[in-house]
Structure 1
Amino acid sequence: MNKGTPVGTPIYRNAPLSTSPAPPFTLGDATSVPATWDALRKEIRQVEIEIETKLTCLSKFGAKTTGSNVEARGNTNGAGPSAKSSVSALEDGEELEASLDQLMAKLDVLVEAMSAHIDSHQTQNGSPAPMAKVHQLQKHREILQDYTKEYRKTRQSVRSARERSQLLNSVRDDINNFRSGGLSASDHLLNERSRIDQSHQLVDSALEQAFATKEDLDRQRTSLQGIDSRIANVTSQLPSVGQLIGKIQSRKNRDNVILSCVIGSCVVGVLYLVM
């Protein structure tokens, strides 16, 4: 059983909605990767907007599937038009997931191309790349991670709703067949076996989400543990800051000593006058 990682909230809120399928893209398609930095940024921006748009559509599709499951629970009078529409909706959801898989792979390739551009700059010029480019690369990597977690979480919810829908359709078909007397006892047992298998799949989906949450918590813990090392790196890169902090601390200690001596002298003088 694969363990995925859930993704955070998309950043671009005002992207235009579009359900058109993404063009085919493979990890080895190096000819479609822009060569310049500005072209890379533009292409990454377009892909990010398209991913957010399709994530929104996938989330709406999952909510719609869940709502149709609730309606199907109270309707067991046939599986004609509703069954056809369910099959069509499932096919649309699968196409949307395939399109998102392609877009996520494309975004990953573009981010790696941006990283390679920075590495080549350091190799050719013998100096670090501009910090603005490094920050942009880090930003797009974080966006990619957020989209990946969000996509896996949404996809898992949609698949769970899809499995519930299939289970409800199977139960409705069995009820209709039983009413019409079209199934034998062995067929009923086979259908019951199929429903049990689908229930197992739902349990596996829940376990997969639990493992994904655990991985996300482990990742956050690792990020928090890396904060100390980052602070130490900043201090080592800026030794004057450390020296300044040390001087401030020593002056503060000196002021505390002087103040303590003055207070002690005053207390002794008061006691001497009283005695």
Structure 2
Amino acid sequence: MATVVIPTSSCLPATDLSAASDESTTGDWDDLRRVARKLEGDLDVRLSSYAKLGEFSDKRVSSNDTQWKTQEMEIEMLLVKLTEINEDMSQWASASVVGANTATMQRLTRHREILHELTKEFKRTKKNLLSVKEHAELLTSVRNDINEHKIDEVIDQAEGTRTALTVQRSAFGEIQGKLKHLNDKFPAIRATLGAIKRKKSKDNIILSAVIALCTLFLIAYWFAK
């Protein structure tokens, strides 16, 4: 009866062990790159959305403030994670059994460049949004000051008008009082003025009658002639 020999790991060819090690390290590298690409895509989308918040800041400063803070924290967390993944890829390249080839190092360099660009874009956008927010808050403060100033002007004008009317009413009251006082104090003057007016009317009547009589005499004389 033939004996069946089962080979152990020590019996495997050296090339098989090397291939297994390469497959394991390549898998780790691919996993890290997959996570890095996903984080880079998420950051790109979130930065685009974050930048659009400034378009409505003039109208909704207070309502956007919480949203700004939330998105800032989310982006900062993603940047931290991407930084850690880049460090893991660097460590993998340094500790790799087979060593990092030129293509791997180029990919690693590209991931570092993308991280740098995303971080730079986030800082620039954050600075711009802060400037826009401060400008919007300043405009809101100025508008409030102008509105308050206009209200104060209207109130001052109303108070001035009321004061002027009060002064005029007081002046008219004084004039009426003086006229009444003169009317009560000098009744004879009123009677004399009335008599003069009546006499003037009587004289006008007499003068008119004389003129009419003279005219009749002239007409009669002219016909008699």
**TM-score, length-normalised on structure 1?**
0.43
State the shift of 1:180 in Å.
3.5
Distance 2:61 2:99 in 1: 55
> 1:92 aligned to 51, 60, 67, which one?
67
2:9 matched to 1:38? no
State the shift of 1:158 in Å.
0.7
2:114 matched to 1:159? no
Distance 1:177 1:147 in 2: 45
Distance 2:79 2:143 in 1: 37
> 2:91 aligned to 116, 131, 134, which one?
116
Which one has the bigger helix percentage? 2
User: Which deviations, in whole Å up to 9, do the C-alpha atoms of 1:66-112 show, x marking residues without a partner?
Assistant: xx3xxxxxxxxxxxxx5xx3211122122111211111111111101
Contact 2:47 2:122 in 1 (8 A): yes
User: Which deviations, in whole Å up to 9, do the C-alpha atoms of 1:187-244 show, x marking residues without a partner?
Assistant: xxxxxxxxxxxxxxxxxxxxxxxxxxxxxxxxxxxxxxxxxxxxxxxxxxxxxxxxxx
Distance 1:51 1:95 in 2: 14
2:39 matched to 1:47? yes
Distance 1:40 1:128 in 2: 16
User: Which deviations, in whole Å up to 9, do the C-alpha atoms of 1:125-157 show, x marking residues without a partner?
Assistant: 3x6312222111101001111111111111111
Distance 1:178 1:98 in 2: 40
State the shift of 1:52 in Å.
0.3
- Report what 1:149 is aligned to: 120
2:128 matched to 1:128? no
SS at match of 2:94: helix
Distance 1:53 1:180 in 2: 46
CA RMSD after TM alignment: 1.8
> Quick one: which amino acid aligns to residue 123 of structure 2?
R
2:80 matched to 1:105? yes
> Quick one: which amino acid aligns to residue 77 of structure 2?
Q
- Identity percentage over the alignment? 31
Question: What is the number of residues matched between the two proteins?
Answer: 126
Distance 1:98 1:88 in 2: 17
Structure showing greater Rg: 2
> 1:171 aligned to 117, 142, 152, which one?
142
Distance 1:128 1:117 in 2: 9
**TM-score, length-normalised on structure 2?**
0.52
> Quick one: which amino acid aligns to residue 30 of structure 2?
D
Contact 2:46 2:71 in 1 (8 A): yes
Distance 1:39 1:64 in 2: 40
